[in-house]
């Protein structure tokens, strides 16, 4: 079950329409435009709420994403590299977001620093294909959830 705050956060992100992945050539370009629009809106929403916590960019094809994410705890800023690849079966399969610097440092991470997917996220993503995208992935694994991995 998704908590009320996450539902509110997700409802403020535009839904995507194009069901296409990197192998779909022209449709992928359309999908990528939708992804960027949703990400821009999500970042704007976060900034308006003084909740800016990540930066992302992608390669030219939009298949490899990388950047930084951060969390402030007890006046200390923790900053980490973030990276993920778009799966070939996207959007049917969600990206696996990784914080490589945390590899092996917490039980809440998979090998390579991949963030542990809860039993709740995979079914939520599956029910929302193709409407969910990268911004929704970050929204459901929002800063409060990621921070548990950062400092535990």
- 69 among known catalytic residues: no
Q: ∠125-56-124 over CA atoms, to 5°? A: 10
Please identify which of the residues 15, 116, 117, 129 carries the catalytic annotation.
116
Count, residues in the chain: 152
Q: Are 41 and 139 in contact (CB under 8 A)?
A: no
What are 110's strand-pairing partners?
114
Q: Are 69 and 53 in contact (CB under 8 A)?
A: yes
Residue positions annotated with a catalytic role: 116
């Amino acid at each position: 079950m998704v908590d009320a705050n996450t539902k509110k956060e997700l409802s403020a992100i535009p839904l995507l329409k194009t069901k296409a992945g990197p192998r779909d050539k022209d449709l992928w370009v359309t999908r990528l435009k939708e992804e960027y629009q949703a990400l821009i809106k999500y970042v704007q929403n976060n900034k308006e709420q003084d909740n800016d916590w990540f930066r992302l960019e992608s390669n030219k094809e939009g298949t490899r994403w990388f950047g930084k994410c951060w969390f402030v705890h007890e006046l200390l800023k923790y900053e980490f590299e973030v990276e993920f690849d778009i799966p070939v079966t996207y959007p049917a399969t969600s990206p696996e977001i990784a914080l490589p610097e945390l590899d092996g440092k917490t039980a809440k991470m998979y090998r390579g620093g991949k963030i542990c997917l809860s039993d709740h996220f995979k079914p939520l993503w599956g029910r929302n294909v193709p409407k969910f995208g990268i911004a929704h992935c970050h929204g459901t694994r929002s800063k409060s959830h990621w921070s548990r991995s950062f400092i535990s």
